[in-house]
Amino acid sequence: MNILIMVIVLLISVIFHEVAHGYVAYLFGDKTAKYAGRLTLNPISHIDLLGSIILPALFILSGSHFMIGWAKPVPVNSANFKNPLKDMMIVSLAGPLTNLSLAILASIMFKAFLLINTIIISPEFTYFLLTILKTTIILNLVLAVFNLFPIPPLDGSKVLLYFLPYDLKVKLLRLEPYGFLLIFILAYFGFLGKILFFVINPLLNMIL
Protein backbone atom coordinates (compact mmCIF):
# COMPACT_ATOMS: atom_id res chain seq x y z
CA MET A 1 0.00 0.00 0.00
CA ASN A 2 2.84 2.39 0.86
CA ILE A 3 4.50 1.68 -2.49
CA LEU A 4 1.23 2.31 -4.33
CA ILE A 5 0.80 5.61 -2.47
CA MET A 6 4.37 6.65 -3.38
CA VAL A 7 3.85 5.86 -7.08
CA ILE A 8 0.50 7.70 -7.28
CA VAL A 9 1.77 10.75 -5.36
CA LEU A 10 4.94 10.87 -7.47
CA LEU A 11 2.96 10.71 -10.71
CA ILE A 12 0.55 13.45 -9.62
CA SER A 13 3.41 15.65 -8.37
CA VAL A 14 5.49 15.46 -11.56
CA ILE A 15 2.38 16.17 -13.65
CA PHE A 16 1.68 19.34 -11.65
CA HIS A 17 5.37 20.23 -12.06
CA GLU A 18 5.23 19.98 -15.85
CA VAL A 19 1.84 21.67 -16.23
CA ALA A 20 3.21 24.60 -14.17
CA HIS A 21 6.06 25.00 -16.69
CA GLY A 22 3.63 24.98 -19.60
CA TYR A 23 1.09 27.31 -18.00
CA VAL A 24 3.67 29.96 -17.02
CA ALA A 25 5.19 29.72 -20.51
CA TYR A 26 1.67 30.29 -21.88
CA LEU A 27 1.31 33.39 -19.70
CA PHE A 28 4.56 34.71 -21.18
CA GLY A 29 3.30 34.23 -24.74
CA ASP A 30 4.44 30.72 -25.66
CA LYS A 31 1.48 28.52 -26.66
CA THR A 32 3.61 25.50 -27.61
CA ALA A 33 2.47 23.41 -24.64
CA LYS A 34 -1.18 24.37 -25.22
CA TYR A 35 -1.06 23.35 -28.89
CA ALA A 36 0.66 20.09 -27.87
CA GLY A 37 -2.23 19.31 -25.50
CA ARG A 38 0.00 19.42 -22.44
CA LEU A 39 -1.88 21.97 -20.32
CA THR A 40 -3.91 19.16 -18.81
CA LEU A 41 -3.74 17.01 -15.67
CA ASN A 42 -4.54 13.90 -17.71
CA PRO A 43 -1.68 11.46 -16.85
CA ILE A 44 -1.71 9.90 -20.33
CA SER A 45 -0.47 13.18 -21.81
CA HIS A 46 2.50 13.36 -19.44
CA ILE A 47 3.75 9.82 -18.75
CA ASP A 48 7.39 9.28 -19.70
CA LEU A 49 8.47 5.66 -20.18
CA LEU A 50 11.81 6.07 -18.38
CA GLY A 51 10.99 8.68 -15.73
CA SER A 52 7.39 7.71 -14.91
CA ILE A 53 7.51 3.91 -15.22
CA ILE A 54 10.95 2.28 -15.51
CA LEU A 55 12.86 4.37 -12.91
CA PRO A 56 10.16 4.21 -10.18
CA ALA A 57 9.84 0.45 -10.85
CA LEU A 58 13.61 0.03 -10.34
CA PHE A 59 13.39 1.86 -7.02
CA ILE A 60 10.50 -0.40 -5.95
CA LEU A 61 12.25 -3.63 -7.00
CA SER A 62 15.45 -2.57 -5.22
CA GLY A 63 13.50 -2.10 -1.98
CA SER A 64 14.60 1.53 -1.76
CA HIS A 65 12.78 3.94 0.57
CA PHE A 66 13.80 6.75 -1.78
CA MET A 67 12.04 7.41 -5.09
CA ILE A 68 12.46 9.96 -7.85
CA GLY A 69 11.03 10.30 -11.33
CA TRP A 70 9.78 12.74 -13.91
CA ALA A 71 7.05 13.27 -16.46
CA LYS A 72 7.52 13.93 -20.16
CA PRO A 73 9.00 17.46 -20.39
CA VAL A 74 6.49 20.07 -21.52
CA PRO A 75 7.64 21.71 -24.80
CA VAL A 76 8.65 25.34 -24.36
CA ASN A 77 9.86 27.64 -27.14
CA SER A 78 11.76 30.55 -25.59
CA ALA A 79 11.75 32.34 -28.98
CA ASN A 80 8.13 33.29 -28.21
CA PHE A 81 9.14 35.16 -25.05
CA LYS A 82 9.69 38.92 -24.97
CA ASN A 83 12.73 38.41 -22.74
CA PRO A 84 13.83 34.83 -23.55
CA LEU A 85 16.52 34.38 -20.87
CA LYS A 86 14.62 35.98 -17.99
CA ASP A 87 11.25 34.47 -18.92
CA MET A 88 12.82 31.02 -19.31
CA MET A 89 14.28 31.34 -15.82
CA ILE A 90 10.82 32.10 -14.38
CA VAL A 91 9.24 29.25 -16.39
CA SER A 92 11.92 26.89 -15.04
CA LEU A 93 11.30 28.01 -11.45
CA ALA A 94 7.54 27.39 -11.83
CA GLY A 95 7.95 23.60 -11.57
CA PRO A 96 9.99 23.43 -8.34
CA LEU A 97 7.91 26.22 -6.75
CA THR A 98 4.76 24.25 -7.55
CA ASN A 99 6.22 21.19 -5.81
CA LEU A 100 7.21 23.33 -2.83
CA SER A 101 3.66 24.74 -2.70
CA LEU A 102 2.19 21.23 -2.77
CA ALA A 103 4.49 20.23 0.11
CA ILE A 104 3.42 23.26 2.17
CA LEU A 105 -0.27 22.65 1.43
CA ALA A 106 0.08 18.99 2.43
CA SER A 107 1.87 20.01 5.66
CA ILE A 108 -1.00 22.34 6.58
CA MET A 109 -3.50 19.51 5.99
CA PHE A 110 -1.24 17.13 7.93
CA LYS A 111 -1.29 19.38 11.00
CA ALA A 112 -5.02 20.01 10.63
CA PHE A 113 -5.82 16.28 10.68
CA LEU A 114 -3.56 15.79 13.69
CA LEU A 115 -5.67 18.38 15.51
CA ILE A 116 -8.89 16.64 14.46
CA ASN A 117 -7.36 13.41 15.80
CA THR A 118 -9.43 10.24 15.88
CA ILE A 119 -12.54 11.61 17.58
CA ILE A 120 -14.23 12.42 14.26
CA ILE A 121 -12.30 10.11 11.93
CA SER A 122 -11.47 6.44 12.51
CA PRO A 123 -7.83 5.61 13.44
CA GLU A 124 -7.40 3.53 10.27
CA PHE A 125 -8.56 6.31 7.96
CA THR A 126 -6.50 8.89 9.86
CA TYR A 127 -3.35 6.75 9.48
CA PHE A 128 -4.06 6.22 5.77
CA LEU A 129 -4.62 9.94 5.17
CA LEU A 130 -1.58 11.01 7.17
CA THR A 131 0.56 8.53 5.20
CA ILE A 132 -0.61 10.10 1.92
CA LEU A 133 0.07 13.63 3.21
CA LYS A 134 3.50 12.72 4.62
CA THR A 135 4.46 11.06 1.33
CA THR A 136 3.22 14.13 -0.57
CA ILE A 137 5.35 16.43 1.60
CA ILE A 138 8.56 14.40 1.28
CA LEU A 139 8.29 13.57 -2.43
CA ASN A 140 7.47 17.16 -3.40
CA LEU A 141 10.40 18.50 -1.38
CA VAL A 142 12.64 15.95 -3.11
CA LEU A 143 11.31 16.99 -6.54
CA ALA A 144 11.70 20.70 -5.77
CA VAL A 145 15.29 20.40 -4.54
CA PHE A 146 16.34 17.80 -7.13
CA ASN A 147 15.09 19.90 -10.03
CA LEU A 148 16.97 22.94 -8.73
CA PHE A 149 20.30 21.16 -9.13
CA PRO A 150 22.33 23.28 -11.62
CA ILE A 151 22.87 20.33 -13.96
CA PRO A 152 21.44 20.48 -17.50
CA PRO A 153 18.66 19.76 -18.37
CA LEU A 154 17.29 20.21 -14.83
CA ASP A 155 15.45 23.45 -14.03
CA GLY A 156 18.27 24.73 -11.85
CA SER A 157 20.59 24.92 -14.84
CA LYS A 158 18.17 27.24 -16.67
CA VAL A 159 17.97 29.46 -13.60
CA LEU A 160 21.76 29.53 -13.37
CA LEU A 161 22.05 30.41 -17.08
CA TYR A 162 20.35 33.74 -16.44
CA PHE A 163 23.08 34.82 -14.01
CA LEU A 164 26.19 33.44 -15.76
CA PRO A 165 28.39 35.43 -18.14
CA TYR A 166 28.23 34.38 -21.79
CA ASP A 167 31.35 32.15 -21.82
CA LEU A 168 30.13 30.17 -18.81
CA LYS A 169 26.65 29.91 -20.35
CA VAL A 170 28.20 28.17 -23.35
CA LYS A 171 30.17 25.76 -21.14
CA LEU A 172 27.08 24.88 -19.09
CA LEU A 173 25.00 24.22 -22.22
CA ARG A 174 27.70 21.85 -23.49
CA LEU A 175 27.09 19.66 -20.44
CA GLU A 176 23.45 18.98 -21.41
CA PRO A 177 24.08 15.73 -23.40
CA TYR A 178 25.85 14.32 -20.33
CA GLY A 179 23.52 15.73 -17.67
CA PHE A 180 21.57 12.59 -16.82
CA LEU A 181 24.76 10.51 -16.85
CA LEU A 182 26.24 12.91 -14.30
CA ILE A 183 23.07 12.66 -12.19
CA PHE A 184 23.17 8.84 -12.23
CA ILE A 185 26.87 8.89 -11.26
CA LEU A 186 26.10 11.22 -8.33
CA ALA A 187 23.22 8.93 -7.31
CA TYR A 188 25.30 5.73 -7.67
CA PHE A 189 28.09 6.99 -5.41
CA GLY A 190 25.64 8.34 -2.84
CA PHE A 191 26.36 12.04 -3.34
CA LEU A 192 22.87 12.81 -4.62
CA GLY A 193 21.17 11.30 -1.59
CA LYS A 194 23.50 13.11 0.83
CA ILE A 195 22.89 16.49 -0.83
CA LEU A 196 19.12 15.95 -0.88
CA PHE A 197 19.08 14.86 2.78
CA PHE A 198 21.23 17.85 3.80
CA VAL A 199 18.79 20.30 2.17
CA ILE A 200 15.45 18.54 2.65
CA ASN A 201 15.79 17.64 6.33
CA PRO A 202 15.77 21.28 7.57
CA LEU A 203 13.02 22.15 5.08
CA LEU A 204 10.93 19.26 6.40
CA ASN A 205 11.44 20.39 9.99
CA MET A 206 10.53 23.95 9.02
CA ILE A 207 7.20 23.22 7.32
CA LEU A 208 6.15 20.60 9.89
Q: Which residues are catalytic?
A: 18
User: Per residue, what are the HEC states of the chain?
Assistant: CHHHHHHHHHHHHHHHHHHHHHHHHHHCCCCHHHHCCCCCCCHHHCCCHHHHHHHHHHHHHCCCCCCCCCCCCCCCCHHHCCCHHHHHHHHHHHHHHHHHHHHHHHHHHHHHHHHHHHHHCCHHHHHHHHHHHHHHHHHHHHHHHHHCCCCCCCHHHHHHHHHCCHHHHHHHHHCHHHHHHHHHHHHHCCHHHHHHHHHHHHHHHHHC
Q: CB of 32 within 8 A of CB of 99?
A: no
Q: CB of 33 within 8 A of CB of 25?
A: yes
Q: CB of 18 within 8 A of CB of 45?
A: no
